[in-house]
């Protein structure tokens, strides 16, 4: 394919998705240091925050070490060239209490996200960002759960609300390249705004899926330094930059400086480098967000059942975030089935 030095915009959610991997405990000093390194490398967008986005810190999904304002203001003070981005899920974040102060703090790019069948909830948040003149993208999470036609219908709603791009998230790391090509190419053909892709690496396909998205017409992809993200991690950013450079695409990122930023991330941000573990593979095959790994393993042990069976049953039931109580139900039912009676 002749790329003609096509420009690809890379967004780096290491300081947001990576926060999942450390129970949302990134400090202001860590945020400041990584922001300076990413900025030096020329990363176009640096995304920060609680793993679940703006205003998500809670007992239910995990409490951040520092508040949203400190996260955003620290990043803003240490980004001279890179744009500052945040992830916003309506239901966690309200407009007046959370989004307005974020924009006042100097956020440049807002990614308003919903489950892949619930774009309706994003209308007010997207419209507010547009009214403020802030760049806003629509994000469809768990996008493997529906086929290209209903996915397009939800994306079209976001476009009509004012979204300036649509990002498909492979939240469970479930896609294979053919899945990416089928859905991304369809959205590129049907929408009048750019399409992006956010890969997770549960099946070891993060880079391959990102490349497939680009070859199918996507002009934006996400990547995290050393893959720093939930579960098996995300597409590895420094690898993505190197591969796209090799393929003749233009990212505007300096490879040497990006490698330095990734080395810094490994030393300063991570407790362990994300790897594709056995349970991550099962999570990807089941199509279940790998953030459920710890509660699944804990409850599987408690009920004396195989965590892999729990994941596949959760996938069959199409579990999504907010339905954590189903894990207990599934583990209990599997235990009862195994013993031939009520648990």
Say if CB 324 and CB 292 are below 8 A apart. yes
What is the DSSP code (8-state) at residue 133? T
> CB neighbours of 29 closer than 8 A, spacing ≥ 6?
none
- 238 forms beta bridges with none
What is the DSSP code (8-state) at residue 96? I
Report d(CA 107, CA 53) in Å as an integer. 13
The four Cα atoms 342, 290, 197, 95 give a dihedral, to 10 degrees, of 80
Phi, psi (degrees; rounded to nearest 5) at 236: -75, 115
Active site residue 81: no
Structural tokens at position 6: 């096509």
Say if CB 42 and CB 253 are below 8 A apart. yes
Structural tokens at position 160: 């009509």
Exactly one of 20, 144, 198, 200 is catalytic; which is it?
20
> CB neighbours of 125 closer than 8 A, spacing ≥ 6?
88, 90, 93, 95, 99, 110, 112
Where in the chain does DSSP place strands (E)?
Answer: 9-15, 45-48, 83-88, 109-115, 135-141, 166-169, 195-198, 220-222
Helix then strand then coil, in percent of the chain rounded to 5, is 50, 15, 35
Structural tokens at position 23: 């129970």
Report d(CA 144, CA 108) in Å as an integer. 28
- CA-CA distances (angstroms) from residue 197 to 29, 81, 124, 272, 319? 29, 23, 23, 25, 22
Enumerate the active-site residues: 20
């Amino acid at each position: 394919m002749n790329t003609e030095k096509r420009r690809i915009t890379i967004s780096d959610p290491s300081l947001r998705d990576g926060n999942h991997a450390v129970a949302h405990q990134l400090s202001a000093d860590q945020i400041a240091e990584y922001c300076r390194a990413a900025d030096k490398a020329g990363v176009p967008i640096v995304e920060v925050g609680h793993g679940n986005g703006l205003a998500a810190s809670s007992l239910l999904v995990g409490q951040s070490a520092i508040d949203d304002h400190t996260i955003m203001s620290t990043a803003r003070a240490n980004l001279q060239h890179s744009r500052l981005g945040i992830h916003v899920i309506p239901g966690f974040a309200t407009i007046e209490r959370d989004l307005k102060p974020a924009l006042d703090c100097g956020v440049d790019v807002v990614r308003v996200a919903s489950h892949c069948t619930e774009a309706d909830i994003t209308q007010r948040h997207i419209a507010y960002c547009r009214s403020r003149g802030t760049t806003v993208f629509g994000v469809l999470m768990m996008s493997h759960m529906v086929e290209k036609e209903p996915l397009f219908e939800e994306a079209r709603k976001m476009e009509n609300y004012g979204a300036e791009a649509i990002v498909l998230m492979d939240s469970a790391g479930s896609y294979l390249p053919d899945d990416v090509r089928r859905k991304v190419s369809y959205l590129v053909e049907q929408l009048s705004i750019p399409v992006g892709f956010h890969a997770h690496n549960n099946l070891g396909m993060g880079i391959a899926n990102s490349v497939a998205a680009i070859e199918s017409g996507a002009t934006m992809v996400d990547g995290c330094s050393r893959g720093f993200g939930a579960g098996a991690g995300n597409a590895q950013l420094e690898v993505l930059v190197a591969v796209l450079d090799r393929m003749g695409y233009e990212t505007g990122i300096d490879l040497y400086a990006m490698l330095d930023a990734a080395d810094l991330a490994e030393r300063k941000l991570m407790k362990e480098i994300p790897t594709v573990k056995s349970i991550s593979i099962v999570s990807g095959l089941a199509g279940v967000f790998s953030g459920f790994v710890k509660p699944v393993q804990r409850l599987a042990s408690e009920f004396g059942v195989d965590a892999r069976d729990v994941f596949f049953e959760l996938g069959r039931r199409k579990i999504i975030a907010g339905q954590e109580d189903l894990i207990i139900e599934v583990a209990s039912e599997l235990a009862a089935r195994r013993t031939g009676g009520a648990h």
